[in-house]
Structure 1
Amino acid sequence: MGWLITQHTFLSLGWDEWASIATILTSLALIGRWLIKKAKKDLLEETNHELKRINRNLEIKNRHDEKVDERLEKGDKKLDEHEILIQDHERRIKRLEEEY
């Protein structure tokens, strides 16, 4: 177990070497994060903007479709009411024709 960790080394590397490795890895992680953010902003910003526009347009279309559906439903109800009135008128006409 003496080879694993001693007072001045860990896995046969000195603490200053481990500090250098940690610094390099942290720097690479920060640079990678910065590059990913930059690429996301530069490459995908226009796509994100277009997706937002499409989403907004779809919301407007859905609201319009709901209004159209409501109007159609009201129209169906009126049609049913008119059909009942027509049937009533036809019955009255038939009854009047039979009386004469």
Structure 2
Amino acid sequence: MAQMQEPMLIPEPTRHEVRVENAEGPWGGPTLRYRGARIECGRGSHISGLFLAGHPLDGANFGVPEIPMSHVDLGIDEKRIPGHYVAKPQK
């Protein structure tokens, strides 16, 4: 009879605090703070902007606020940005 193996445990990802700094910021939606970054949201939070001095995507606009939060995580944890934002050399 085959021996049953212990299930592989996958660690939970680290959760960082998202703080609402202002319920209605300059873009009409909330201003959020996440790991030192300021994230401005439009009404309904369908549009957001990332503001983090020194981050390559500082000042860029995105969709929902979770998108710039993931870019902040990549920048801080892995010192990189998503590959589709990296310029490809021209041939």
State the TM-score, normalizing by the size of structure 2.
Answer: 0.20
Structure (1/2) with the larger strand percentage: 2
State the TM-score, normalizing by the size of structure 1.
Answer: 0.19
Structure (1/2) with the larger helix percentage: 1
Greater Cα radius of gyration, structure 1 or 2: 1
